[in-house]
C-alpha cells in the first residue's frame, strides 16, 4: 500500500503525518522517533501516523505543553481533523500518550496494540537515560554533547540483533534531533515522575477493546514484566506476547509487522 506524506495545521499547529489508504488505524511513535517508524506497518494495514509535536517535521514550539495532558489535547484535535471517529490504536514507547485519549473515549477504540509502551501503571522506575534527562542541568548537558556517532553506539544496546541499529533508523532520528526535539524530550520526561505515570493509567480498565501487548524480553529500558502489568489493568481481552527482542521488537523480528496487521484485521 502506498504511503503518502501530508502536512497541515491542527488548531494552528503545523503538523506532518503519513497516511496509507483510508483504514481507521492510528499509529503513535515514541522517543526519539518520528512517523517514519511506522512505514512498514502502514504499507501492510493502511492508516495514519503523525509526527507528534516536538518531533520530526511537526512544529516544535516552545509554548506547546509537552506532557501527557498536552498530547491528549493534541490527539483529540488531530483525530477530529483526520476524520478518525472509531479506530484501532497502535503505540510504541511514548506513543502511550494515546492511552490518555483512549481512556477518555474508550468507545472510540476498535483494537489496541501496545508495543513496549511507557508504563502508565504503578511500580516502574525510569531507566538510566531517562533519569539523566529528568535531571536539570545533566539533561541539558547530555543533549548538548550528543553526537550522531554517540547515538549510533548507544543504539547497540537497544535490540538483540547485533548493533548498531540500522542506518536508516539512525539517520531518521538524527535528521530531526534538533534543539526543538531535545527540548520536547526533556520537558516530556520531566513532566512525568513515576507517580504521574501511575495516575495516567487510572482508567485503563475502561478500555474494553481487544488488546495485543507485544514486548521484547531483552528490552533494556522497559522490563518485559510490564506487559503483564498492562494486561492486568486493561478492561478487555488482552493477549500478551513476549518475543526474543529488544525495545523495537519488529526490527529484531520483522514478522511482528504481520502479527500486528493480522490482529488489527481481527485474524
- Residues 6 or more apart whose CB falls under 8 angstroms from that of 16 comprise 5, 6, 7, 35, 50, 51, 56, 57, 58
Q: Average pLDDT of 90-98?
A: 98
Q: Identify the structural domains of the chain with CATH numbers, from first to last.
A: 4-264 (3.40.50.1820)
- Residues 6 or more apart whose CB falls under 8 angstroms from that of 196 comprise 68
Q: What is the pLDDT of residues 166-211, one digit of tens each?
A: 999 999 999 999 999 999 999 999 999 999 999 999 999 999 999 9
Write b or e for each residue in 13-33: b if 16 or more Cβ atoms lie within 10 A of its Cβ, otherwise e.
eebbbbbbeebbbbbbbbbbb
Strand 4-10 versus strand 109-117 pairing type: unpaired
pLDDT higher than 80, residue 267: no
The overall average pLDDT reported for the chain is 96
Nearest-angstrom CA–CA distance, 246 and 144: 27
3-state secondary structure of 9: strand
For residue 255, count CB atoms less than 10 angstroms from its CB and return exposed for 0-12, middle for 13-18, buried for 19 or more. exposed
Nearest-angstrom CA–CA distance, 166 and 74: 31
pLDDT higher than 80, residue 245: yes
- Contact in structure between 136 and 114 (CB atoms under 8 Å): no
Nearest-angstrom CA–CA distance, 201 and 189: 16
Q: Average pLDDT of 224-250?
A: 97
Q: What is the pLDDT of residues 122-179, one digit of tens each?
A: 999 999 999 999 999 999 999 999 999 999 998 999 999 887 999 999 999 999 999 9
For residue 185, count CB atoms less than 10 angstroms from its CB and return exposed for 0-12, middle for 13-18, buried for 19 or more. buried
Q: What is the pTM of this model?
A: 0.97
pLDDT at 30: 98
Secondary structure letter of residue 216 according to DSSP? E
Nearest-angstrom CA–CA distance, 78 and 8: 10
Counts for the chain of helices (H) and strands (E), in that order: 12, 8
pLDDT at 161: 87
Residue 167, H or E segment: helix 167-175
3-state secondary structure of 91: strand
pLDDT higher than 80, residue 244: yes
3-state secondary structure of 242: strand
Question: What are the beta bridge partners of residue 66?
Answer: none
- Contact in structure between 251 and 172 (CB atoms under 8 Å): no
Nearest-angstrom CA–CA distance, 267 and 259: 9
Written as nine digits, the cell of 40 is 512498514
Q: What is the pLDDT of residues 34-63, one digit of tens each?
A: 999 999 999 999 999 999 999 999 999 999
Nearest-angstrom CA–CA distance, 255 and 70: 34
Amino acid at each position: 500500500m502506498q504511503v503518502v506524506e501530508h502536512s497541515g495545521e491542527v488548531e494552528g499547529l503545523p503538523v506532518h503525518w503519513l497516511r496509507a489508504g483510508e483504514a481507521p488505524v492510528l499509529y503513535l511513535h515514541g522517543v526519539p522517533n518520528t512517523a517514519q517508524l511506522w512505514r512498514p506497518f502502514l504499507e501492510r494495514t493502511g492508516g495514519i501516523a503523525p509526527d507528534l509535536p516536538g518531533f520530526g517535521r511537526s512544529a516544535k514550539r516552545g509554548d506547546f505543553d509537552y506532557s501527557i495532558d498536552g498530547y491528549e489535547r493534541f490527539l483529540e484535535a488531530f483525530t477530529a481533523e483526520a476524520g478518525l471517529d472509531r479506530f484501532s490504536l497502535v503505540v510504541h514507547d511514548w506513543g502511550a500518550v494515546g492511552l490518555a485519549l483512549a481512556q477518555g473515549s474508550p468507545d472510540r477504540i476498535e483494537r489496541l496494540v501496545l508495543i513496549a509502551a511507557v508504563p502508565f501503571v504503578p511500580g516502574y522506575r525510569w531507566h538510566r537515560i531517562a533519569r539523566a534527562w529528568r535531571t536539570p542541568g545533566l539533561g541539558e548537558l547530555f543533549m548538548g554533547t550528543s553526537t550522531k556517532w554517540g547515538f549510533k553506539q548507544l543504539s547497540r544496546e537497544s535490540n538483540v540483533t547485533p548493533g548498531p541499529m540500522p542506518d536508516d533508523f539512525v539517520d531518521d532520528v538524527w535528521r530531526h534531533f534538533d534543539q526543538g526535539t531535545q527540548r520536547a524530550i526533556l520537558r516530556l520526561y520531566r513532566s512525568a515522575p513515576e507517580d504521574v505515570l501511575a495516575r495516567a493509567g487510572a482508567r485503563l480498565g475502561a478500555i474494553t477493546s481487544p488488546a495485543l501487548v507485544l514486548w521484547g524480553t531483552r528490552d533494556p529500558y522497559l522490563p518485559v514484566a510490564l506487559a503483564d502489568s498492562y494486561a492486568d489493568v486493561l478492561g478487555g481481552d488482552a493477549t500478551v506476547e513476549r518475543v526474543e527482542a529488544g525495545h523495537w521488537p519488529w526490527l529484531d523480528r520483522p514478522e511482528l509487522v504481520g502479527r500486528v496487521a493480522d490482529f488489527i484485521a481481527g485474524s
